[in-house]
Chains A and B, each alone.
Chain A
Amino acid sequence: MTRSRWRMLLGILAVLGVFSIAVACGDDDDEGDTATQPAGGSSATAAPNTGGAPKGTITIRAIQFESWDPHFSDFAQDISHFYMVNRGLYMLDLQNKPQPELADGMPKISADGKVYTIKLKSGLKWSDGQPIKADQFVAGIQRTCNPDIAGHYEFVLDDTVKGCHEYAAATKDDAAKKEQLRAGVGVKAIDDLTLEITLLEPKPTFTTILTMWPTFPTPTHKVAKVDDKWPGPMESVYTGPFMPSKYTEKNSLELVPNPNWSGAAKPKVEKIVLRYIDDPAVATQAYRAGEIDATVLPAAEFPAVKADANLSKELNQFPATRTFGLAFNQRAGQVGSNQDLRIALSQAVDRDAMNQVVFKGVQTPTTNWMPPDRSGLPLNAFKAEVGFDAAKAKATLAKAGYADGKNFPKLTLLLTDTAENKDLGSFLKDQWKKNLSIDVDLEFVDSKTRSTRYNTGAFQLVIAGWQEDYPDPENWYIGLRETGGSINKEGCSLPALDDLIKKAKTNQNDEERRKQYQEAEKLAVTNAQCNLPLWHVSGLRLVKPYITGMKESKRAGDTFVMGDWNPENWATSKK
């Protein structure tokens, strides 16, 4: 009797166990196709949809946006979302040239270069069918300048559009004064289809600025006042090729074609699913399992993917517009105020070895600040001056007053505490010990602490970089390399560089202006101003072979996949 009862109990448990596994392994009608799709997934593919009715679904790895308000946010993931559902007057093409999007042609610019008159295309509509009008672009620019919105990208308009700075600075003023300042911002609607923007001084890159999210129109039928909160994804209306159809915070956002999209390229897929996955390593596993169609690849997995016969064909590697290097605190009295010392430390770093040891060969070793695509200079243009040369490094350090590393002062390299930075810190420390006989201390802190110390000058040396906001050389210099510039955190100062930047800033001769920035690049790097470049970042993305239209454009927006600012070009042949 006892034995039989135990057998019965175990029998019930066994049946439950088998049932659970059977259910677990059964078909899942909702997502079975996706879940069981093998990596490569070419068995169920046909010709990609390049025209006709949209078809298919593309699921990509994305990161949850922080803010849905284009006039407030500066997060890269937010910006990628914005371009999928919103568009402004102009849009950058694949060569990074601004092309009319909602505007009807390029702007008419006054002879003095200060007044831009822009016509809108007629018949433009928001996704809910309401007309898009010029005064909504006025409201958009005013909203970015609004001190109560506290837009993080206000700086692109601050010293550019007349009255924007005064309005943005009016944080303590009363409502009446703010209203007066709002009305004083140099943007007005001449009629429903005509917009006029007045600048403080000529800005050759202003049409490019008009491709950016801080200038997107405000749907005034949803955001009535300049202080009103921007609606959430399901409540807002859109000017872009897609619009949200379902949203679960931190889980996913589903996009469907906007029926009122006016652009020439019509969406080719029925649905885009942005699956929010924080950890890129998890996303890579989901990609391998066929649960998503495209993702960022973490550099640590690059060697394994490259060695994989199938995955290597799905790997896309492209130069991103981001540079990292050694940023010294150059303020008086700091160790980094010694120019020869800065150059010696740069010359002592073997960038090629660093790339192999630390980055598994992913990044592009460099001595350039601007990526070659942006500056027009060859890669590693300043190798002779600041590039790796152990003998030269020793001589430069002697010139700096520390022959053979003797009496070298205490110097601490500040890094964010990540596994990759641990390797990077160790590598650099070894290089300086080996090539200069000096000891540099390493200090690892969390990212917020590092940013605070970097921003407030509480550092000696950090690994720091720059990701461009818009594709123009000026974005690598204005504010960054000028004496007292708002983002000159190293305290660097070179009068000749200041002069060059000042001339280039308003120079309307584009060819001459770009040459001036090339000269600025030479001056900055060879004089070890602010940052001694070490590597340009490479973008790594995995894309299933049945996807077409994801094209990299070498700009900041490609956060999730290549070309995620132009999802209207994406197509899938997966059934």
Chain B
Amino acid sequence: MVGYTIRRILALIPLLLAVVTVTFFLMHAVQGGPFDSDRPLNEATRARLEEKYNLDGTLGEQYVHYMRNLANADLGVSFSNDRPVRAIIADRFPVSLHLGLYAFAFAITFGLVLGIVAALHQNGRWDYVTVFLSTVGAALPPFILAPFLVWTFALKLDWFNVLSSDYGPISVTDWSWIWHDMTHLQQMVLPTVALGFLPAAFIARVTRASMLEVLRQDYIRTARSKGLDHFQVVMRHAIRNALIPVLTIAGPIFAGLITGSFIIERAFSIPGLGRSFIESVINRDYGVIMGTTVFFAVIISVMNLLVDLAYAIVDPRIRL
């Protein structure tokens, strides 16, 4: 497994190079630059800004300059506010991570429970409820779900707030953030549900299908014939095996949730990385676009690697 892990980490290098190169040239191929607005800057000001941010050379020169800086772990600066991209990511990512962890916990809990209950009661009431919820979850895009949740639970029922809480950094050494969150649930529930509902629906469907398949396997029949009760069969034999497909999708879902959602972060006014990334694209803030893309690529690659490693732990038949 160690050799496999090293090979996979080494394989990240050409992958990241490809991501950076494609993003760099695509970004510059799009019309409009960071200093374009209806109020054009005078020539001297524009020239100075282009020189300051290394936009005055040819595209090839700019690319080489960017790659050289990247090799030194320098992600550049934002053209809008001159802040280092690393500092922006360091500020925003914990916010998205914080929200994403809750959304992931919600998605896994809600999705697994619904999926398992539905499979155990196939074609029963709970199964129909699960199928209905998972269909609704898959059909409702976040930009509809979020305003709907706000309208219903914040404006009409007054249970929760429209605006989110301050999602501060989380820590494994100082757990005070958990107390903060528990006392600010009114501001945290809706963003969590809005972000986690779609993956929860997906996980529920996958879990249901996987459980149904496992429950029909010979080893389940053998376990029952040995006299194990239903609870033991489900908990000890069915769920563990049914979780492998869920694990496959959990990694990318986790990566997707913690890297931020523009729609949810905008809908609840959360200062996360997703919002920052989309704004940087709109503003042609090349430094932030590139830095965030590299960061996303690393996170997603690492999550995929962890999922592959987890296979071997969950299923001994898999050899890496």
Mark A residues whose CB is within 8 Å of B. 1-2, 5-6, 13, 20, 23-26, 28-31, 35-36, 66-67, 74, 147-148, 150-152, 154-155, 158, 168-169, 171, 229, 248-252, 275-279, 282, 285-286, 288-289, 291-292, 445-455, 464-465, 486-487, 489
Q: Is B163 within 8 A of A286, CB to CB?
A: yes
Least CB distance, B41 to chain A, in whole angstroms? 6
Q: Is A448 within 8 A of B44, CB to CB?
A: no
Q: Is B186 within 8 A of A250, CB to CB?
A: no
Complex interface: chain B residues within 8 A of A31 (CB): 161, 187
Least CB distance, A488 to chain B, in whole angstroms? 11
7 intermolecular pairs with C-beta atoms under 8 Å apart = A24-B189, A25-B159, A28-B184, A30-B184, A279-B269, A285-B155, A289-B154
CB-CB nearest in chain B for A13: B113
B160 within 8 Å of A by Cβ? yes
Given contacts A24-B159, A24-B189, 8 further A-B contacts (CB under 8 A): A30-B184, A150-B45, A251-B271, A275-B269, A448-B284, A451-B32, A452-B32, A486-B42
B17 within 8 Å of A by Cβ? no
Q: Is A452 within 8 A of B154, CB to CB?
A: no
Q: Is A248 within 8 A of B271, CB to CB?
A: yes
CB-CB nearest in chain B for A73: B81
User: Which of B92, B150, B160, B231 has most chain A Cβ within 10 Å?
Assistant: B231
Interface positions, chain B 181-205, Cβ under 8 Å from A, are 182-187, 189
Complex interface: chain A residues within 8 A of B282 (CB): 446-448
Contact of A451 (CB < 8 Å), options: B37, B160, B267, B275: B37
Complex interface: chain B residues within 8 A of A35 (CB): 161, 186
Q: Is B162 within 8 A of A286, CB to CB?
A: yes
Q: Is B31 within 8 A of A453, CB to CB?
A: yes
Contact of B48 (CB < 8 Å), options: A148, A285, A486: A148
Complex interface: chain B residues within 8 A of A248 (CB): 166, 271
Complex interface: chain A residues within 8 A of B267 (CB): 279, 282
Complex interface: chain A residues within 8 A of B41 (CB): 150, 152
Q: A28-B184, A249-B271 are in contact. Are A448 and B33 (CB under 8 A)?
A: yes
Q: A67-B82, A152-B45 are in contact. Are A448 and B31 (CB under 8 A)?
A: yes
Q: Is B185 within 8 A of A6, CB to CB?
A: no
**Within the assembled complex, what's the spacing in Å between the Cα atoms of A476 and B128?**
65
Interface 0/1 of B106-150, CB less than 8 Å to A: 000000010000000000000000000000000000000001001
Q: Is B155 within 8 A of A277, CB to CB?
A: no
Q: Is B39 within 8 A of A66, CB to CB?
A: no
CB-CB nearest in chain A for B51: A171
Least CB distance, A166 to chain B, in whole angstroms? 10
Q: A448-B32, A449-B32 are in contact. Are A276 and B269 (CB under 8 A)?
A: yes
Least CB distance, A534 to chain B, in whole angstroms? 16
Complex interface: chain B residues within 8 A of A286 (CB): 162-163, 269
Mark B residues whose CB is within 8 Å of A. 30-33, 36-42, 44-45, 47-49, 51-52, 80-82, 91-92, 113, 147, 150-151, 154-155, 158-163, 166, 182-187, 189, 229-231, 266-269, 271, 275-276, 282-284
Contact of A24 (CB < 8 Å), options: B48, B113, B186, B276: B186
CB-CB nearest in chain B for A147: B48
**Within the assembled complex, what's the spacing in Å between the Cα atoms of A447 and B33?**
11
**Within the assembled complex, what's the spacing in Å between the Cα atoms of A30 and B166?**
12
Q: Is A150 within 8 A of B266, CB to CB?
A: no
Q: Is B275 within 8 A of A23, CB to CB?
A: no
Q: A35-B186, A67-B82, A251-B166 are in contact. Are A489 and B49 (CB under 8 A)?
A: no
Q: Is A250 within 8 A of B92, CB to CB?
A: yes
Q: Is A158 within 8 A of B82, CB to CB?
A: no
Least CB distance, B235 to chain A, in whole angstroms? 9
**Within the assembled complex, what's the spacing in Å between the Cα atoms of A287 and B161?**
11
Q: Is B283 within 8 A of A23, CB to CB?
A: no
Least CB distance, A3 to chain B, in whole angstroms? 9
Least CB distance, B292 to chain A, in whole angstroms? 14
**Within the assembled complex, what's the spacing in Å between the Cα atoms of A447 and B42?**
20
Contact of B154 (CB < 8 Å), options: A5, A285, A454, A455: A285
CB-CB nearest in chain B for A146: B48
Complex interface: chain B residues within 8 A of A447 (CB): 32, 282
Contact of A1 (CB < 8 Å), options: B49, B163, B166, B229: B229
Q: A171-B48, A448-B33 are in contact. Are A74 and B269 (CB under 8 A)?
A: no
**Within the assembled complex, what's the spacing in Å between the Cα atoms of A147 and B49?**
9
Contact of A291 (CB < 8 Å), options: B48, B51, B163, B275: B163
**Within the assembled complex, what's the spacing in Å between the Cα atoms of A289 and B40?**
40
Q: Is B276 within 8 A of A451, CB to CB?
A: no
Complex interface: chain A residues within 8 A of B230 (CB): 2
Complex interface: chain A residues within 8 A of B283 (CB): 448
Least CB distance, B216 to chain A, in whole angstroms? 20
Least CB distance, A231 to chain B, in whole angstroms? 12
Q: Is B161 within 8 A of A277, CB to CB?
A: no
Least CB distance, A145 to chain B, in whole angstroms? 10
**Within the assembled complex, what's the spacing in Å between the Cα atoms of A213 and B269?**
29
Least CB distance, B272 to chain A, in whole angstroms? 8
**Within the assembled complex, what's the spacing in Å between the Cα atoms of A373 and B173?**
61
Q: Is B47 within 8 A of A171, CB to CB?
A: yes
Complex interface: chain A residues within 8 A of B154 (CB): 285, 289
Contact of B31 (CB < 8 Å), options: A147, A152, A289, A449: A449
Complex interface: chain A residues within 8 A of B185 (CB): 20, 23-24, 26
Complex interface: chain A residues within 8 A of B231 (CB): 1-2, 5-6
Q: Is A291 within 8 A of B36, CB to CB?
A: no
**Within the assembled complex, what's the spacing in Å between the Cα atoms of A229 and B81?**
11
**Within the assembled complex, what's the spacing in Å between the Cα atoms of A291 and B268?**
12
**Within the assembled complex, what's the spacing in Å between the Cα atoms of A286 and B269?**
10
Complex interface: chain A residues within 8 A of B48 (CB): 147-148, 150, 171
Complex interface: chain B residues within 8 A of A445 (CB): 31
**Within the assembled complex, what's the spacing in Å between the Cα atoms of A464 and B40?**
13
Least CB distance, B149 to chain A, in whole angstroms? 11
Contact of A455 (CB < 8 Å), options: B36, B113, B162, B271: B36
Contact of A155 (CB < 8 Å), options: B42, B113, B155: B42
CB-CB nearest in chain A for B151: A285
Contact of B36 (CB < 8 Å), options: A276, A289, A452: A452
**Within the assembled complex, what's the spacing in Å between the Cα atoms of A76 and B33?**
19
Complex interface: chain B residues within 8 A of A454 (CB): 38
Least CB distance, B44 to chain A, in whole angstroms? 5
**Within the assembled complex, what's the spacing in Å between the Cα atoms of A251 and B94?**
14
Q: Is A291 within 8 A of B161, CB to CB?
A: yes
Q: Is A158 within 8 A of B269, CB to CB?
A: no
Q: Is B40 within 8 A of A489, CB to CB?
A: yes
CB-CB nearest in chain B for A9: B231
**Within the assembled complex, what's the spacing in Å between the Cα atoms of A291 and B39?**
35
**Within the assembled complex, what's the spacing in Å between the Cα atoms of A524 and B268?**
46
Complex interface: chain B residues within 8 A of A291 (CB): 161-163
Q: Is B155 within 8 A of A288, CB to CB?
A: yes
Q: Is A277 within 8 A of B269, CB to CB?
A: yes
Q: A67-B81, A282-B268, A452-B33 are in contact. Are A169 and B162 (CB under 8 A)?
A: no
Q: Is B266 within 8 A of A487, CB to CB?
A: no
Q: Is B45 within 8 A of A154, CB to CB?
A: yes
Q: Is B158 within 8 A of A289, CB to CB?
A: yes
Contact of B163 (CB < 8 Å), options: A30, A277, A448: A277
